[in-house]
Structure 1
Amino acid sequence: MRINALLIALMIAAPAMADGPPPAPSGLYEQDSPHTSVTWKIDHFGLSHFTARFIDANARLDWNADEPELSKLTVEIDPANVRTDFPFPEVEDFDGKIGGDPAFLAANPITFVSERIDITGENTGRIEGNLTMRGETHPAVMDVVFNGSLAEHPIEKIAKLGFSGHMTVKRSLWGLTFATPALSDDVEVAIEIEFKPAGV
C-alpha cells in the first residue's frame, strides 16, 4: 500500500516538476551589475580583434511576462567607464582617451532605447531601437537570447531574468572614422545581463 501511495503521489507531482520553477513576473527590472557585462571588439589590421568593455551599464527593463514583445528596454552607459586593459597606463591614459577624446566617444552618454521587439523563436528575439553616441542618434538592432527567468532565485531570493545580446554597428554613422579601414568600421557588441526588480 505504501508503494502504491508513493507512486500515486509521484504521478500527481510529475507535471508540476516537469514545468520547472515559476518564472519572474511582469514589472520594472534593473540590471544586476555583478552579473552584467558589455564588451565590444573591433578588427585590428586583420590580425586580431581589439576587445574592451564598459563597466556599470545602467539598464532598465519594463518586462511583460505574458507578451514579451510589449516590453521596453533602456540602457545608458558612461563612456568614462570604458576599460581597455592598455598595458602602459604610465605612458598614456588610453581609457580616458577612448571615453573622452572628441575623436572617440567625447564623454557623451551612450544610450539605447528600444522601439520594437519581435519574437523570432522559442527563446530568441530582435530588438529595434535608437542608439545614441557622441550626441548623434541612429537606428540599431540587437539580437537577443532569453536565457530564462525565476520568480525566486535560489540564493538571492528575488526574481531574476537573464539575456544574452549581440549587435553590430558601423561606427562611421556616428562620426567615428579614426584609422578606418585599418581598424574595421564594424564594431561588435556583446551583452550578458541579469535583471533584478528595480530598487532591490
Structure 2
Amino acid sequence: MRALLALACLMLTACVSAPGTDPVRLPAGEWELDREHASATWRVRHLGLSWYTARFDELDARLIFDPANPEASELTAIIEAASVSTGDTDFDETLRGGAWLDADRHPQISFRSTRIEVTGETTGRIHGELTLKGVTRPAALETEFYGGLFSLLARRRAIGFGADLVINRNDFNVGRLPPGFIGDEVRVRIEAEFLRTAPE
C-alpha cells in the first residue's frame, strides 16, 4: 500500500512543477482563461455592518502576454451579468433586473485594457475601460502575478494572477435603494489561471 501511495505522489509531482515568477522565462503569445480555475467575487457594505459578498459564475478572458515587455501585454475579460450568484435565487433575479444589472438588455460586463503599468517585481496596474450596464468608464486592476509553470496534465504552460478592482456603483447606474442601505463602493476580487492557447 505504501508503495502505491509513493508512486501516486511521484506521478503527481511529475505532472506539476513549482511555479516561477520570472516572466522572462515564459513564452510570449496568446493565453486563454482556465475557467475551472477562475473566480470573480464582489463585496459591498450592507447597512455599514458587514461586507456582503457574492460572485459571478460565468467569466472568460483572453491575455496576449509579452514577457519581455509586460507593458505591451493586452487583456480582455467578459463576465456574464446573468450569472450573478448570491446563494438566494430570488435576490439573484432582483439583481438581474433593470434597477440593478439589467442583464437582459446588457448581458455582458467587459473590461478591455488600454495600458499596463509595472509597479513591482510581481505586481502591476492594468488600466482599461469597464463596461457595465451599457456605461463605459475608466477602471484599473491592481494585479499580482503568481507565476507560471508547465503542467503535464494539461500539456500546456499555465500562469496565474490575482486582481482587485474598486468601482462606484452609481457611476454605472446600478442599484436603487435609500442612502445608507448599501454602500456605493463595490470591491471585486478576481483569481485567474491562464493556459497557452496551443498545447506544447
**One fold, TM greater than 0.5?**
yes
User: Normalising by structure 1, what TM-score?
Assistant: 0.82
1:103 aligns with 2:102: no
The residue that corresponds to 1:75 in the other structure is 77
> How does the TM-score come out when normalised to structure 2?
0.82
Alignment of 1:15-164 (within 5 A): 23-86=25-88, 89=89, 93-99=90-96, 101-107=97-103, 108=106, 109-150=108-149, 152-164=150-162
Q: How many Å apart are 1:199 and its aligned residue?
A: 6.3
Give the C-alpha shift of residue 153 in structure 1: 1.7
Distance 2:41 2:156 in 1: 26
1:16 is matched with which residue? none
Post-superposition offset of 1:157: 2.6
3-state SS of 1:98 partner: helix
What is the CA distance between 1:155 and its match in structure 2? 3.4
Change (3 A) 1:96 1:198: farther
Q: For residue 95 of structure 2, what is the amino acid of its counterpart? A: I
The secondary structure found in structure 1 opposite 2:156 is: coil
CA distance in 1, matches of 2:59, 2:110: 10
- Secondary structure at the residue paired with 1:75? strand
Matches of residues 170-181 of structure 1 in structure 2 within 5 Å? 170-179=168-177, 180-181=179-180
Q: Per the alignment, in what secondary structure is the counterpart of residue 172 of structure 1?
A: helix
1:167 alignment counterpart: 165
Q: Secondary structure at the match of 1:105?
A: coil
Q: How many angstroms apart in 2 are the aligned matches of 1:169 and 1:20?
A: 29
Shift of 1:20: 9.1
Q: Deviations over 1:153-199 (max 9, x none)?
A: 25323111100000110010011242243200000000000001236
What fraction of aligned residue pairs are identical, expressed as a percent?
Answer: 38
Q: Flag the structure with larger Rg.
A: 1
Partners of 1:177 and 1:96 lie apart in 2 by 13
Corresponding pairs, count: 175
Q: Residues 20 and 81 (structure 1 numbering): CA distance in 2 closer, same or farther, change over 3 Å? A: closer
In structure 1, runs of 5+ residues without a counterpart are: 1-18
Q: Which amino acid aligns with 2:101?
A: L
Distance 1:194 1:23 in 2: 17
Q: Is the 8 A contact 1:37 1:192 kept in 2?
A: yes
Give structure 2 stretches of 5+ with no counterpart: 1-19
Would you tell me which structure has more strand in proportion to its own residues?
2
- Structure 1: 4+ residue segments shifted above 6 A: 19-22
- Secondary structure of the 2:75 match is strand
- Cα deviation for residue 132 of structure 1 reads 0.4
Tell me, in whole angstroms, the C-alpha distance in 1 between the residues paired with 2:94 and 2:181: 19
